[in-house]
Structure formats: C-alpha cells, structure tokens
Amino acid sequence: MEASGRETKQETAKLEFSLDVPFPSSHEATVALGSLSPDREPRKGGISKQLTVSGSTLSVRWSADEARILRVSVSSFLDHLSLVLETMQKFGPPVSQ
C-alpha cells in the first residue's frame, strides 16, 4: 500500500443572503441603520453581515459558512428590524436634527 503526499482540500462555498428594506424616506432608513448596526454577530467567525443605506433603502448582506448560522443571524436581525419598525410606527417618523 502506498500513501500519497498530496492532500486535497475541499473548499466549501459561502452561503449568502441579501435583504432590501424600503423606507418612506432616506432619513428613516438611516435611523434604522443606526439602530441595527451596533448588533455584532455573537460568533467571531463563520458569518459576516454588512448594512448599508442607499436612498431610502436599507440593504443587508450576509455571508456564512453554515446554513444554521445564517438562519439564526437572519432570524435575529428580522426580530430587531420588526422592533425598529414598530417603534417608528408607534412614535411617528424620526425628527431631523
């Protein structure tokens, strides 16, 4: 029997998910960005999340190594987004400073 010195690494493809959330105004999108941005991912590796605002649209892009990690991150973000939207609806549009 002969062992080969060559080892092949199987590269795993990243899983990606994108979400665009339209707001009535660019100011509201920016306020939502400010409210949602401080939440860092609990794990140091395996997932990344990028939030940006373009016009009145908040865009979120995830990239993860595992489906489970991606699912948990997206679900948590949607919970936080729901809270931000409910707060904006209850108290009205944010006031410009």
- Count of residues in the chain: 97
**Distance separating alpha carbons of residues 91 and 79, to the nearest angstrom:** 19
Q: Report pLDDT for 3.
A: 31
- How much is the pTM? 0.77
CA–CA distances in Å: residue 64 to residues 4, 9, 45, 81: 32, 19, 9, 20
Angstrom distance (rounded) from CA 17 to CA 1: 46
> Each residue of 30-68: pLDDT tens digit?
999 999 986 565 656 789 999 999 999 999 999 999 999
